[in-house]
Amino acid sequence: MRRSICTQYRSKLIAVIVAITLLSLSARAAADGLTDAEHEIQPALEDLYKARAEAFVNQDIQKLKDYYLDEKISRIALEHEHNQIQYLNKWSDKRAIQLTHSQCAIRIIRQRITGDRAVVSLVQSHRIGYMYENRFLPEQFFGVGTRHFITLKKKDGRWKVSREWYLDPLDENPKKISDGPDGLAPSVKAKSSEPPKSQKYNRKRAVEYANKYAGAAWGAGNRHRYNPKYLDYTSKGGDCTNFASQIIGDSEGGGLPARGNWRYFDRSGGTQTWVQTDSFSRFLIGSGYGKLLAKGTYEQITRPSDQYPDSAISSLEPGDLIGYILHNNDTDHFSVVVGFDDYGYPLVNSHTADRYRVPFDLGWDSETRYQLFHIRD
């Protein structure tokens, strides 16, 4: 709240305080080599991403418009955020879930400012909470992480979004979300998130590895960074399969020994079977390390069948893998099952984009087909 200053003394005092503050800021800027404009970027971006995170719950798109320019490319960026918000809320409706919490933190990697224009790369860690409707269960949380390249333009004293690019885990059509009976897959039974003991494949360590190295996603360990032992294939088509291979094969993870063409070399990186989705999918079955329990749409893998009375998805255990097929019969993505929420819904971790304990079908649509791989113990 602003208060009017009536006396000359108070006016001078305020002037002195302001002058000291400005001098302090200038000295700090000189000390760390940053300009005044560069010091403005961090709070401007924190305000922007805070408003965007809150919009997932309050769906106040009108408020978000204030952060964007009235230009075509900027409007496209805003429409993308609108679509993302619609998708998450529509998915929540279909799963009988109420979004309760949305909060994010950002870390600026680099910034370049030229006049009234700033180009920034940053990492966002986003925490989302939800509760099941008509079920007495505690609030659940999951995290996603994204890497952003954003251009800002200063207009009327404010830095606003000119354009933005990032790999969005929720970039799907809100009108194409799979339906579930009663808003859920009721055959997904609540089970312990503690991985069972095994001989050959260490499920407990596999899950711990997946949680530690889930990258930028909220909740991940290792200071939100990937395992430095491995190359990051994000810019080479995606890091999801590289991460899945690490989870089941690294000695810190599941510990399955390298076999055939499934290998990682310290200097040259992973083989095609290690990093490429289709090759890895075929390897899991051909090597005997994995068993394909089922392949099908959301509706097909969540409904009871003669083979799986509780549904195929209910047969997965922590440490098992899910492949995602988008086009033709090619596997496009891999995630690892790390546990179940308090209702019993399977939760997954992955890279590209980074996910931490995210509901397994969030970010996918009704045309997605799922491959359910059980890793043999």
Longest dimension (CA), the chain: 86
Task: Return the minimum-mean-pLDDT range out of 12-21, 181-190, 212-221.
Answer: 12-21
Per-position DSSP letters for 128-162, written without gaps between them: EEEEETTS----EEEEEEEEEEEEEEEETTEEEEE
- Using 50, 70 and 90 to split pLDDT, how confident is the model at 29? very low
Q: Which is nearest to 205 in space by CA: 362, 355, 82, 319?
A: 319
Query: Would you identify the CATH topology of the domain 25-176?
Result: Nuclear Transport Factor 2; Chain: A, (3.10.450)
pLDDT digit string (tens) for 32-80?
A: 556 667 789 999 999 999 999 999 999 999 999 999 999 999 999 999 9
Average of per-residue pLDDT values in the chain: 88
Q: Are 350 and 204 in contact (CB under 8 A)?
A: no
Containing 176, the helix (H) or strand (E) segment is: none
pLDDT digit string (tens) for 263-314?
A: 999 989 999 999 999 999 999 999 999 999 999 999 999 998 999 998 999 9
Domain boundaries, the chain: 25-176, 184-375
